Structure 1
């Protein structure tokens, strides 16, 4: 089944006693144990607070921040290599409040003289996209006076992020000002929008916020790109609930807007506690969005809620991405992770549900879905055990839709069986690079030069494979004596 790893609040810092080797070994060992029963993750979400950050007034703070980001991205990169064959397009990353350099933020503001205070003051302070900041410690008003310096408070994060995604196949290029990025997971069956909830967040303003209109612009971009997946997900950093004395959480109205625009599941961190919430919205007859929080992977013990250990999530979806199971993993003895079995997670897991995607008639789009799910599970298990099953033929007859997980499972089964005829007949032509690669291999195995030429010329075959198949094409010509 489609499965993803959800990490949050890495808080990487040289002061943390858990180095990357220890964390990586613990994570991979636990994932190995999980995969004995289920699947290994095929995608990774990191929902913010990659670093601990540098203290205000710390000497050489920029170097410290960049060192912390080097540690954070080393861990993420090694996880990507171990679980995802190094495909960084399958890794979703957003910034958190700790990713902001407060020392840079300080240098971007200037005090406002008391005679220039706006009246009333509070509306001016809480204005969206506002420039005013209040220091409770100094009892003094400040104004963001240098917008270019203010933007650089996330400079170390962006530099590291751009380097990480260099060469990755993303729907849109990395853009520091867009407010969101898009990712295609599970062979395009799931589209993820990564939102920045750190807009206007700094050393004096702790409120979480997305840039004005960014959710709507994201929705319009999805329409423009025709990214019409089985499941639409969002990722951000901040939690959506908080006590009256706190202001460092995201307005629930932002998530309501997401649900109204078709987002079905959301992932965040920040609260250092694993949880799930069903958010109901009365729009278009009513819809439900599932919101999932991951605990902190490596926050200091003083920053963890009472009775909570370091945690991470594994989310296991069903074949058609209409529901999922949330597995909470918690660190215990010897810095090792295992299933958390306390409170509402007494079984180590909880179900997740959301409103199904509707067809043009306004009805849930689930034709014969139960049978499709059952066959997908059976074929996937057979592939894992390296045995043949008649379920493969049945699944092939159902013709799973392009870009869905059942189709991906079917392709893997046909490849394992060496059924090149079926691959050529059912997976070419295609719009997907993995299917194009399979079609090229099928054409070569069947000595079908016409099909092989079509695949190479289609533009669907990834660049790193083109030369290989051109060479193999020449070998076919030699064997034919042409």
Structure 2
């Protein structure tokens, strides 16, 4: 699920409850009638809140209230779609998440000189690279960032929200050079790289930009996962192109850096409309990237481009067929307080969905032995949950089933054991399944297991011993 531009605020025309229930109804609709799978993950590509003007009364409290509303919505989204697993929600900031209170408190108005040469110097400073000067068109005044430390704190409210959402397991760092995150999903074979495109961004400098050091570190950080066969996906907020009068987009050179890091897909928001751009830079198509944008989930009528409604994407990936599909959902009614979602016809797509190719170099066949080795390392390091998560989708392979026995035994997940090993294929699985039935007090299932063909046909002493022990336990049990 690719959602963007939530613009959560107490003055919006949609409550968290109404929004969540509408998304739940839409999920039931597309899974039952449109053959679209239930989402495994949610990508939230920025503009978590609407933001507060610096001059508003109680601005800091209002900003916190917006983040509280966003937090409650995203926690409930994780509960509703991902059984409460917040790691399955990938977050990045957008320009609306920049605190204008911090910006205004960090800048000082600069007198415009009378002399022509001094005016020229000021103009060059305003247009310079990494400039600390800004221009305010409202009163034709020049501004200077005189408190750079405070200016760098302008994403601090977002950082507090981010850390709170992930219960401290993840942290959004204030230093722009460290603003990136890696989200690996071994069982799905994909890895996301979250980026902040808000470097030097504020209301007076609307250009999107990723700090070069953050981008370099992110590409290095994702490389080990790509070598393990993951499909790498970059996520940021700003668009990668704009009209001649627009400046609020990132330079498309970002795509070259992402491809250099072997990212095959990019996902962003900001432009409030769905789009697919496929950029290929080599004749052999070994290096390419497909860029996907989503509409605004909660934007009001004035924030919608002409002819567009609120919307979000469902992106399905088929690595075996080396293709992806974007399904666009949009609001089919006009009541902004009670949305009804449905398939959206997108003129540029020529329909409600569009396919795109995954480059063959990005779709690597991961051998079971490679997965087994990685999962075994996780087991040895004391993380059986992560080990099982990595292999649970490939339990048709005998080696991975052996690891699953150890992982589930360490976890003590008796219900999952009864589901996975309902028909045991080895003595170890039989013994573990028997223990699970005993722990759950499921005596009828235990009796059936011990009289099954597997139990009667196995000469293994361990199986026979376990059966004898359970016979003693079952005496007097109903």
Structure 1 contact 264–354 (Cα < 8 Å) conserved: yes
Once the two structures are superposed, the pairs formed by residues 322-341 of structure 1 within 5 Å of their partners are 322-333=322-333, 335-341=339-345
Shift of 1:148: 2.2
Number of the residue aligned with 1:196: 196
Structure 2 contact 46–91 (Cα < 8 Å) conserved: yes
CA RMSD across the alignment:
3.7
Q: Deviations over 1:418-475 (max 9, x none)?
A: xxx87643646789x99999789869853369x99xxxxxxxxxxxxxxxxxxxxxxx
Q: Deviations over 1:55-108 (max 9, x none)?
A: 231011111011011111211111111111111111110111111121221110
Give the stretch that moved more between structures: 295-304 or 35-44: 35-44
Number of the residue aligned with 1:157: 158
TM-score, normalization by structure 1: 0.75
Matched position secondary structure for 2:263? coil
Please tell me whether residue 21 in structure 1 is matched to residue 25 in structure 2: no
**Cα gap change, 1:233 to 1:142, in 2 (>3 Å):** same
Q: Distance in 1 between matches of 2:247 and 2:118?
A: 22
Q: Distance in 2 between matches of 1:401 and 1:324?
A: 25
Structure 1 contact 188–229 (Cα < 8 Å) conserved: no
Structure 1 contact 222–228 (Cα < 8 Å) conserved: no
Q: In terms of Rg, which structure is larger?
A: 2
Matched position secondary structure for 1:26? helix
Number of the residue aligned with 2:313: 313
Structure 1 contact 299–310 (Cα < 8 Å) conserved: yes
Q: Pick from 39, 42, 55: which aligns with 1:41?
A: 39
Q: Tell me the number of residue pairs that the alignment of Structure 1 and Structure 2 aligns.
A: 408
**Cα gap change, 1:202 to 1:232, in 2 (>3 Å):** same
Give the stretch that moved more between structures: 173-182 or 229-238: 173-182
**Cα gap change, 1:266 to 1:119, in 2 (>3 Å):** same
Number of the residue aligned with 2:267: 267
Please tell me whether residue 447 in structure 1 is matched to residue 451 in structure 2: no
Structure 1 contact 112–142 (Cα < 8 Å) conserved: yes
Matched position secondary structure for 1:247? coil
**Cα gap change, 1:30 to 1:187, in 2 (>3 Å):** same
**Cα gap change, 1:224 to 1:355, in 2 (>3 Å):** closer
Number of the residue aligned with 1:135: 136
Number of the residue aligned with 1:304: 304
Please tell me whether residue 353 in structure 1 is matched to residue 349 in structure 2: no
Number of the residue aligned with 1:214: 214
TM-score, normalization by structure 2: 0.76
Structure 2 contact 105–150 (Cα < 8 Å) conserved: yes
**Cα gap change, 1:265 to 1:142, in 2 (>3 Å):** same
Once the two structures are superposed, the pairs formed by residues 236-251 of structure 1 within 5 Å of their partners are 236-251=236-251
Q: Deviations over 1:186-224 (max 9, x none)?
A: 626111110000111112111111112322221122346
Structure 2 contact 182–221 (Cα < 8 Å) conserved: no
**Cα gap change, 1:223 to 1:258, in 2 (>3 Å):** closer
Q: Distance in 1 between matches of 2:20 and 2:267?
A: 22
